Amino acid sequence: MNKIKEILIGTNNSGKYKEISALLPKEIVKHSLKEFKISAPEETGKNYKENAFIKALYYSKKTNLICLSDDSGLEIDLLNGSPGIYSSRWGGKKKNFDLAINKIFYEMNKIKKDWKKDNRAKFFCCLALVWPNGKSFFSEGIVNGKISKKKKGKKGFGYDPIFVPKGYNKTFGEMEPKLKMFIDHRYKAYLKIKNFFG
Ligand code: ITT
């Protein structure tokens, strides 16, 4: 297999960008969307895979580069899997995750005032690797955990301050990024495509 030497990391989320670029081998030439003036496609898919494909295909066609995109989300058992594929949209137009996190607490409290023991959740990630000719490859990863009663830590992004991964007693927001990135959903999905990069 010809190893990929140059790639576009097709995300507008700087937290994701940092993690993905740190996972990829150093030698690979990495491009970010900041180098190009491309607006984001509408995520009209009905699941993570469709949305990851929409993004990677669109950015790959626009730039003629192989593109790696991520579609991910937080799934909370008590909320029947919400916010799920709408995780980004719960932050509103301004992607305000203080708001999104408050909405999560609000919705959980509405269902059960004392949800301390009903706090199971997971992060899901689908990575799509798409070539300009439309060839594609997908991989998925999950990290199980629970929702913390309070927001804790300022180190991460998105929902990191309220997610405690299984086997740890800190939120992702309290963890060093170097620890978080090797236990999360994105890393687990990346392991399944890492052979493309050598
Ligand atoms: P792109 O589509 O440009 O990649 P996005 O932020 O809109 O950026 P998604 O549509 O995949 O990406 O939304 C997933 C949301 O889930 C994202 O905005 C984060 O808030 C959240 N999320 C995903 N992975 C996360 C992680 O590792 N830590 C915290 N929050 C995460």
**Which atom of ligand 1 is nearest to 13's Cα?**
8
Tell me the mean pLDDT in the region 108-125.
96
pLDDT in tens, 126-163: 999 999 999 999 999 999 999 999 999 999 999 999 99
- What is the model's pTM? 0.97
Residue 22 lies in a domain: yes
Residue 131 lies in a domain: yes
CATH number at residue 174: 3.90.950.10
- Which one-letter DSSP state was computed for residue 195? G
Give the structural domain span for 148. Answer: 6-197
Q: What is residue 2's predicted lDDT score, i.e. its pLDDT?
A: 87
State the DSSP string of 84-123: GGGTTGGGTTTT-HHHHHHHHHHHHHHH-S--TTS-EEEE
Element (H, E) at 164: strand 163-165
How many helices and strands in the chain, by DSSP H and E? Answer: 5, 6
CA 195 to centroid of ligand 1, rounded, Å: 24
Residue 68 lies in a domain: yes
Work out the pLDDT band at 77, boundaries 50, 70, 90. very high
pLDDT in tens, 19-76: 999 999 999 999 999 999 899 999 999 999 999 999 999 999 999 999 999 999 999 9
Out of 12, 70, 87, mutate this one to test ligand 1's pocket (max ligand atoms within 8 Å of CB): namely: 87
Q: What is residue 57's predicted lDDT score, i.e. its pLDDT?
A: 98
Strand partners, 18: none
The structural domain count of the chain equals 1
Angstrom distance (rounded) from CA 78 to CA 73: 15
Residue 192 lies in a domain: yes
Residue 1 lies in a domain: no
Residue 170 lies in a domain: yes
Residue 108 lies in a domain: yes
Whether 133 and 86 have beta carbons less than 8 Å apart is answered as: no
Closest CA to 43 of 82, 11, 16: 11
Q: What is residue 33's predicted lDDT score, i.e. its pLDDT?
A: 98
Mean pLDDT of the chain, nearest integer: 97
Angstrom distance (rounded) from CA 166 to CA 145: 4
